[in-house]
Amino acid sequence: MVRRRFALIGAVLFCLQFPVAFSAERDVDRVVDQGLQWLASKQQRLGHWTSQGRYPAAMTSLAGLALLCEGSTTTQGPYAGNLRRAVDYLTSQSRPNGLIGDPLRDDRYTYGHGFALLFLSQVLGEEEDLQRREELVRLLTKAVRFTGQAQTDAGGWGYLSAKEGNGFDEGSTTITQVQGLRSCRNAGIPVPKEVIDKAIAYIKKCTLRDGGVQYSSKGGGGRPAITAAAVACLFNAGEYDDDLVPRMLKYCQGRLGSGNNLGHWHYAHFYYSQVQYREGGETWDAYRDRTYAKLVREAKFHDLAGNQVAMWDGGYIGGVYTTSLNLIILQMDKAVLPIYQR
């Protein structure tokens, strides 16, 4: 009895040493669970998500990635049904030329196409149904071909295909295409090496002396969000340039490391969290604790059919977009998706 009493006292004292850490972990798990429930409830009857009625391909892909990060697949887990409907919707949006999306509703359709490449190729890696796998391989092979044809002569991508966009390119859409292509290659889809090489050269060309990546090959000044995305993209592509990457990391640390509420914060940290997670160790621990606490603090709670759910409505594009990005960030530690693993 005495031993049990001392053991109980010891356990209580041990827990009292770390009340914040244990509480924070529980808070993150709770908010993620409630956020996933809210996100699932916003799926449309046809299987897609939108943000303010726009960008169905991009929103469906980002919401799908958030559900995949939980560990669900199209056949298993609490969100299997949502994921099947999302895949079916994006499959139905595949055009004869390989574009995934509807140019009439996705006015910047390269974003949706790039995120769809990323989401569907991650699904492919876990798809157990042979017929669905074959369908995804055909769709993604055609989609990769479209991406290559949409690339500008400078090596980047714009909001539209190079032919329709008169050769305009910019950093954020370029990153979306490159990460999607890398994910496809990892899933076994043929990706022409020259397309990736041109894109990496484009990113390097857009990197300024201070490490910031400018808006476009035409100029526009360094952008913290695009720089964070560029580093994540280079890491995905296996590029660890001894000069370039440290400069980019230093630039990001100076502008994103303090947690300031800069423009496009959620988009920037969607990519910066991937960079920090790959760094690992104390770098990741410090970033995670600070960023996760901020996201938990800023979550908004609502009642849904008697259950409390959580969402975030900050940012420029709306709740589905911001909630999807934040849920991916908050689940980075799970390391479920190959594209986000170390």
How many helices and strands, by DSSP H and E, does the chain display? 13, 4
Domain-embedded: residue 171: yes
> How far, in whole angstroms, is CA 288 from its chain's centroid?
16
| Residue 179 burial (C-beta neighbours within 10 Å; 0-12, 13-18, 19+) | buried
Q: What pLDDT does residue 3 have?
A: 37
Closest C-alpha among 118, 33, 42, 116 to residue 78? 33
Domain-embedded: residue 34: no
Write out pLDDT tens, residues 162-212: 989 889 999 999 999 999 999 999 999 999 999 999 999 999 999 999 999
pTM attached to this predicted model: 0.90
Domain-embedded: residue 236: yes
**How high does pLDDT run on average in the chain?**
89
| Cβ neighbours, 10 Å, residue 257 | 16
**Percent of the chain whose pLDDT exceeds 90:** 70
Look up residue 88 and give its amino acid.
Answer: D
Domain-embedded: residue 240: yes
Q: What pLDDT does residue 17 have?
A: 39
Q: Which residues constitute the domain of residue 118?
A: 44-290+314-340
Write out pLDDT tens, residues 305-326: 999 999 998 767 899 999 999 9
139 with 93: CB under 8 angstroms?
A: no
302 with 308: CB under 8 angstroms?
A: yes
Domain-embedded: residue 9: no
> How far, in whole angstroms, is CA 86 from its chain's centroid?
16
Looking at 3-17, 115-129, 227-241, 286-300, which range is the least confident one? 3-17
Higher pLDDT, 107 or 230: 230
| Cβ neighbours, 10 Å, residue 244 | 17
Domain-embedded: residue 175: yes
Q: What pLDDT does residue 165 have?
A: 85
pLDDT grade for 14, boundaries at 50, 70 and 90:
very low
Domain-embedded: residue 123: yes
Q: What is the CATH number of the domain that holds 254?
A: 1.50.10.20
Q: What pLDDT does residue 10 have?
A: 41
Q: What pLDDT does residue 341 have?
A: 83
Closest C-alpha among 112, 103, 95 to residue 50? 112
Q: Distance between CA 305 and CA 87 in Å, rounded? A: 26
Largest CA distance in the chain: 81
**Which DSSP category does 153 fall into?**
T
Domain-embedded: residue 11: no
Strand partners, 207: 213
Query: What domain count does the chain have?
Result: 1
pLDDT grade for 259, boundaries at 50, 70 and 90:
low
Q: Is the dihedral of CA 183, 208, 281, 291 positive or negative?
A: negative
Q: What is the DSSP string of 109-120?
A: HHHHHHHHHHHH
Write out pLDDT tens, residues 93-127: 999 999 999 888 888 999 999 999 999 999 998 88
